[in-house]
């Protein structure tokens, strides 16, 4: 991994706080002790360990719900749990996070696609996690889930369907109205003709390309004329002059909340083209950028990311189906983005979804609840109670105002302990409450 000409690189202290942010932005938060270990590697070493993981294993016991293994193709919510489990147990968190990013980027939903095909697409996205974007786009174009979702198998020489051609340009590669016309949409749709599938009582099957269904006549796309195949049509889009900067801006937005400067976009786009449209070097440059580590530029954690992170921090695996409906009411049910544009991250925290974050936290805290009647003890010291509560979540960094608010709550609680039994019970009960308050604080909900 090398410094990139024209792209700023963070030169400040890279300690546990910065490593923690990196693990949240480029993964699903740290496991106990992981941020400290990452900090020892330095910025470059830390990023390298994420973009080139030594292992992609899943560590820990396999998930079980109601005493049985998951059935992601059959049981409600088990597809979500299956992927959430990968996020929790993976030794390659950035690979899994990029899989989630591509799922949002090329948003496809089981609302219109059989679950087995969604799982197959999920494996495709993971294979391309940090690979080549053009090859990913070629593969996603012929992927059965995408073919069904955006009517690829309904697009033929006799009856062209513009759906995928439009979204390929507008959402996936160029941006709305950037460098293409309605005529380009129609002509690109003709280039993308030829895919087919059969239908049986059990659903769609035998996805394939049939030459007779393809429009082999000349087309004119972006001012270029030719008898373009579907592969050539895709490459016309990914090699369009407007694509590199679109790619750089869109990818940046998954890691950093503030808009990149024009110079940064230009440099990232140049790096992208120079690397023949590989994703890894662009991700590395973004993860090393000073804007990612700026104190005032925090990002709201997507619901699934926070859920996986809380489980990673507390060493808990997937042992209940509740995580599926909890993430759903928080606004992010895996394999079911709301539309082809993906999830709206401006809705991650609002009055409709915040309650779900509280319930998520409750589902982590309740099984670990301290009980003074079963011998649990805690000191009559507000600062120490907060310290214990923060330690439950792996010692995330808290701002001064948040920590002060937690300590005020703890002190007020202890002040009411006017009898010996209260002095025994109240500190313990306060720790339970403080654990909840830490994980629902602005500092924990963002990274």
Q: Tell me the domain boundaries of the chain.
A: 16-293, 303-445
**Which pLDDT does position 115 carry in this prediction?**
96
Work out the angle at residue 327's Cα, subtended by the Cα atoms of residues 342 and 385, and round it to the nearest 5 degrees. Answer: 130
Specify whether the CB–CB gap between 95 and 129 falls below 8 A. Answer: yes
pLDDT band for position 157 (cuts 50, 70, 90): very high
Instruction: State yes or no: pLDDT of 5 exceeds 90.
Output: no
**Which pLDDT does position 156 carry in this prediction?**
98
The per-residue pLDDT for range 32-63, each reduced to its tens digit, is 999 999 999 999 999 999 999 999 999 999 99
- Collapsing DSSP to helix, strand or coil, 226 comes out as strand
**Which pLDDT does position 295 carry in this prediction?**
87
- Mean pLDDT confidence for 92-108: 98
Strand partners, 278: 132
Distance between CA atoms of residues 359 and 436, nearest Å: 10
CA dihedral sign of residues 368, 85, 24, 255: negative
Using N-to-C axis directions, what is the helix angle for 280-287 and 262-274, rounded to 10°? 150
Average model confidence (pLDDT) across the chain: 96
Residues of the chain with pLDDT > 90: what percent? 96
**Which pLDDT does position 185 carry in this prediction?**
98
CA distances from residue 48 to 2, 81, 307, 325 in whole angstroms, order as listed: 10, 29, 25, 35
Distance between CA atoms of residues 434 and 440, nearest Å: 10
**Which pLDDT does position 423 carry in this prediction?**
96
Q: Which positions ≥6 away from 228 have C-beta within 8 Å?
A: 191, 219, 221, 236
Specify whether the CB–CB gap between 441 and 390 falls below 8 A. Answer: no
- Mean pLDDT confidence for 302-330: 97
Q: Is the pTM of this model over 0.95?
A: yes
Residue of 301, 252, 287, 344 lying closest to 446 (CA atoms)? 301
According to DSSP, residue 77 is labeled T
CA distances from residue 189 to 101, 150, 176, 222, 435 in whole angstroms, order as listed: 26, 12, 17, 13, 54
Distance between CA atoms of residues 100 and 102, nearest Å: 5
- Collapsing DSSP to helix, strand or coil, 337 comes out as coil
pLDDT band for position 224 (cuts 50, 70, 90): very high
Residue of 387, 393, 429, 395 lying closest to 412 (CA atoms)? 429
The per-residue pLDDT for range 369-391, each reduced to its tens digit, is 999 999 999 999 999 999 999 99
- Collapsing DSSP to helix, strand or coil, 79 comes out as helix
**Which pLDDT does position 4 carry in this prediction?**
63
Distance between CA atoms of residues 248 and 252, nearest Å: 6
pLDDT band for position 255 (cuts 50, 70, 90): very high
Helices (H), 275-392: 280-287, 290-293, 303-314, 322-330, 354-365, 382-392
CA distances from residue 36 to 51, 136, 291 in whole angstroms, order as listed: 18, 34, 21
Distance between CA atoms of residues 339 and 359, nearest Å: 26
Specify whether the CB–CB gap between 141 and 192 falls below 8 A. Answer: yes
pLDDT band for position 413 (cuts 50, 70, 90): very high
pLDDT band for position 297 (cuts 50, 70, 90): confident
**Which pLDDT does position 296 carry in this prediction?**
83
């Amino acid at each position: 991994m090398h410094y990139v000409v024209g792209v700023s690189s963070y030169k400040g202290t890279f300690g546990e706080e910065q490593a923690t942010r990196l693990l949240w932005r480029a993964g699903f938060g740290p496991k106990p002790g992981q941020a400290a270990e990452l900090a020892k590697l330095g910025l470059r070493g830390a990023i390298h360990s994420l973009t080139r993981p030594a292992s992609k294993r899943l560590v820990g016991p396999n998930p079980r719900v109601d005493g049985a293994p998951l059935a992601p193709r059959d049981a409600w919510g088990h597809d979500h749990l299956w992927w959430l489990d990968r996020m929790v147990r993976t030794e390659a968190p950035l690979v899994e996070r990029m899989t989630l990013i591509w799922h949002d980027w090329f948003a496809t939903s089981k609302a219109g696609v059989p679950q087995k095909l969604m799982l197959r697409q999920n494996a495709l996205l993971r294979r391309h996690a940090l690979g080549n974007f053009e090859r990913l786009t070629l593969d996603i174009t012929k992927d059965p889930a995408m073919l069904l979702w955006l009517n690829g198998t309904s697009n033929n020489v006799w009856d062209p369907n513009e759906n995928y051609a439009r979204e390929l340009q507008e959402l996936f590669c160029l941006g709305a109205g950037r460098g293409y016309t309605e005529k380009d949409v129609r002509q690109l749709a003709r280039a993308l003709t030829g895919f087919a599938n059969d239908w049986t009582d059990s659903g769609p099957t035998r996805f394939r390309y049939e030459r007779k269904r393809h429009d082999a006549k000349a087309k004119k796309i972006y001012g270029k004329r030719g008898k373009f195949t579907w592969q050539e049509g895709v490459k016309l889009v990914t090699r369009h002059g407007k694509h590199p900067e679109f790619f750089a801006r869109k990818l940046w937005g998954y890691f950093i909340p503030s808009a990149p400067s024009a110079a940064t976009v230009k440099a990232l786009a140049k790096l992208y083209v120079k690397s023949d449209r590989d994703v890894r070097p662009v991700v590395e440059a973004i993860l090393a950028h000073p804007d990612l580590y700026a104190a005032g530029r925090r990002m709201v954690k997507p619901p699934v990311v926070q859920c996986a992170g809380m489980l990673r921090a507390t060493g808990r695996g997937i042992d209940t189906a509740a995580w599926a409906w909890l993430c759903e009411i928080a606004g992010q049910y895996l394999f079911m983005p709301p539309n082809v544009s993906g999830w709206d991250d401006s809705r991650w925290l609002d009055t409709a979804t915040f309650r779900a974050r509280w319930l998520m936290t409750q589902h982590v805290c309740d099984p670990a609840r301290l009980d003074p009647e079963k011998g649990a003890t805690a000191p009559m010291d507000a600062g120490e109670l907060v310290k214990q509560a923060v330690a439950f979540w792996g010692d995330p960094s808290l701002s001064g105002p948040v920590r002060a608010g937690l300590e005020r709550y703890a002190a007020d609680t202890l002040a009411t302990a006017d009898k010996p039994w209260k002095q025994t019970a109240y500190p313990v009960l306060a720790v339970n409450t403080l654990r909840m308050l830490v994980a629902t604080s602005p500092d924990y909900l963002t990274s």
